Structure 1
Amino acid sequence: MEASILVKVVLPLSLFIIMLGMGLALKPVDFKMVMVRPKAVALGLVAQMLMLPILAYLIVLAFGMTGAVAVGVMILALCPGGTTSNLYTYLAKGDIALSVTLTSLVSLIAPFTVPLMIVMFMSMLMGQEEYIHLPVLKTIIQLVVITILPISIGMYIHNKKPQWAQKADKPVKVFSILFLFLIVAMIVFNNLHNMAEYFAKAGLAAIILNIASMVLGYILAKVAQLNEAQSKAIGIEVGFQNGTLAIVIALTLLENTEMAIAATCYSLSMFVTGAVFAMVLANRSKKAVETTAEA
């Protein structure tokens, strides 16, 4: 398969299917969380859409990163959480309903905010000779087509054919994870000789961003006096980004391989770091229950 077909057709189509799967699992009642628990939802949105990009920018500055690689870190931070965050919230015994609501809301908002933020960070981090012109309106429309449209179609199918949607939900989620591994594997294979250099450039920064954002999201929720389950959901939601979307933006919309480095390195590590974080939080809850029982 030619690289151009993979980047321009297969990758966006696969993201469309992944977002369709997200929509298949959603129903209007999932958005009632905004009214039922507005504080938790508002905090989650602020943490993911404001705190996370600020944290990413500070990490970029700390590493002295510039150019396309630095912009790639920012693209990763600007992307919403994926369905993986919902799975890890479940494993951590967190508030799954809150996790799903945050994933859905940010996924619906991101197509309109991400292109504007990318343009801003490119102007800040790239020299004039490196700057890539990004048609904002066209990019917004493209992101709407590959994210909001399939989510809407999925929700419509769920509403009309709930049993079929329920059956299709699990295979699509499995496809999501397998396809991400496939894309990452192909990128690694095509750049095998440069992976050590790429990891040195952006890999460590991406991993630090992943871990720091999970921890800070969790701490922020605890400081705001949210309960343990909500704090877990926000920590994981802020720490998990849609790596597939970040790769699509870098390779398909911006056509820049260096901008996909951070998302690729991140996708290789997030399953491990996320699992460790989820296990630590789950054990904290278990010990808290045991302590309460003994008392």
Structure 2
Amino acid sequence: MGSALTTIGLPVALGIIMFGLGLSLAPGDFARVAKHPKAVIIALVCQLLVLPALCLGLVLVFQLPPVLAVGMMLLAASPGGTTANLYSHLFRGDVALNISLTAINSVLAVFTLPLITNLAITYFLPGDDGLGLQLAKVVEVFAIVLLPVAIGMLVRWWRPGFADRMDKPVRIASVVILVVVIAGAIASNLELLLENFGSLAAITVLFCVLSLTIGYLVPRLLRVGPAQSIASSFEIGIHNATLAIVIAQTVIGSVEMSLPAAVYGVLMFFVALAFGFLIRRRGPAPERADAAADGVPAESRGAGEPAS
């Protein structure tokens, strides 16, 4: 990938996306989890424990090359993206729960993502001391993930009206910049991407299907409501591929390690859409009213970035 795209374009695109997330968040989004603690705990356990274990099993079964295996684990460790809010809204999920889970996952990812990635590097690339997320790089992950979100939240607290007005322009800007950057990245690494697409398409699609299924069935089996289960499904099944790509390329310095997230980021949209139609329930979803009651208009806060 061209150095300008890697060092400037991708971080800028992700920064705008995370800033947009911050504009849609308020402290109440963290406190709201008390309304559905069971759903939150189940979703977090699936996200932080079940999915990395599942991904490790898939990587071993598919016998991916070590660098691609680490890339898959990095993807599995990435939190849900705000695109999950959009899918949850489209398929009658509890969007307020999605927003809260995204906020919590983004904070937890600062600690869990480096831990899982370092364990994967130690296992799959034991002799490569040049890779990994040491303390300085963990701080960099913190700056990439949380700093733009914190700034966005401060803007919302300071100028809520301005934050509401900027929501749509920021989302549009993130789409445009991200499309341009990813198109340039694909063009400059087309041969490498095509060389690995075949081996990555099957595992990324299967990982997405299993993640969505676990995110929906586990809460349902544990008697969580339908709307919360749909929210959990998309939160767990839709990972922030852009974050994984940025960390792989700009923090760790490996274009090849970012390939699983790049392939997943394209195919995930179609998989999640098909899955949404399978689990859609007709009729009103009472839980959606919680969003309005908490001052969270789902229609205005349900959309997110396109590559996560």
* TM-score normalised per structure 1: 0.91
Deviation per residue, 1:92-151 (Å, 9 max, x gap): 1100011111111010110122112111101111252x4533342112211111221111
Paired with 1:245 and 1:148, the residues of 2 have a C-alpha distance of: 12
Change (3 A) 1:182 1:51: farther
Match of 2:36 in 1: 37
Change (3 A) 1:236 1:176: same
Any conservation in 1 of the 2:92–2:227 contact (CA below 8 Å)?
yes
Higher deviation after alignment, 207-216 or 192-201 = 192-201
TM-superposed deviation, 1:206: 1.2
Change (3 A) 1:14 1:136: same
**5+ residue gaps, structure 2:** 286-308
2:114 paired with 1:105: no
Change (3 A) 1:206 1:175: farther
Match of 2:115 in 1: 116
Match of 1:266 in 2: 264
2:50 paired with 1:51: yes
Deviation per residue, 1:135-177 (Å, 9 max, x gap): 4211221111122111111111111111110111122223334
How many residues align structurally?
A: 285
Higher deviation after alignment, 260-269 or 31-40 = 31-40
Higher deviation after alignment, 169-178 or 3-12 = 169-178
Match of 1:75 in 2: 74
Match of 1:4 in 2: 3
**Matching residue's letter, 1:242:** N
Change (3 A) 1:50 1:150: same
Match of 2:125 in 1: 126
TM-superposed deviation, 1:48: 0.9
Paired with 1:242 and 1:135, the residues of 2 have a C-alpha distance of: 18
TM-superposed deviation, 1:208: 1.1
Match of 2:233 in 1: 235
Any conservation in 2 of the 1:81–1:106 contact (CA below 8 Å)?
yes
Any conservation in 1 of the 2:85–2:95 contact (CA below 8 Å)?
yes
Match of 2:292 in 1: none
Match of 1:190 in 2: 188
Match of 1:252 in 2: 250
Deviation per residue, 1:229-274 (Å, 9 max, x gap): 0010111110101111000011001111110110110111111111
Quick one: which of 272, 278, 286 aligns to 2:282?
A: 286
Higher deviation after alignment, 201-210 or 217-226 = 201-210
| Coordinate RMSD, CA, aligned | 1.8
Deviation per residue, 1:39-63 (Å, 9 max, x gap): 1111111111111111111110110
**Matching residue's letter, 1:273:** V
**Matching residue's letter, 1:286:** R
**Matching residue's letter, 2:251:** L
Paired with 1:181 and 1:206, the residues of 2 have a C-alpha distance of: 21
Deviation per residue, 1:201-244 (Å, 9 max, x gap): 32221111111100111000101100100010111110101111
Match of 1:218 in 2: 216
Deviation per residue, 1:72-109 (Å, 9 max, x gap): 11111100111111111101110001111111101011
Equivalences for residues 135-146 of structure 1 within 5 A = 135-146=133-144
Paired with 1:184 and 1:55, the residues of 2 have a C-alpha distance of: 28
**5+ residue gaps, structure 1:** 290-295
Any conservation in 1 of the 2:118–2:133 contact (CA below 8 Å)?
no
Match of 2:201 in 1: 203
Match of 1:66 in 2: 65
TM-superposed deviation, 1:183: 3.4
Paired with 1:178 and 1:46, the residues of 2 have a C-alpha distance of: 34
Paired with 2:9 and 2:192, the residues of 1 have a C-alpha distance of: 24
Secondary structure of the corresponding residue to residue 81 of structure 1: coil
Any conservation in 1 of the 2:78–2:240 contact (CA below 8 Å)?
yes
Paired with 1:178 and 1:55, the residues of 2 have a C-alpha distance of: 34
Match of 2:171 in 1: 173
Any conservation in 2 of the 1:69–1:201 contact (CA below 8 Å)?
no
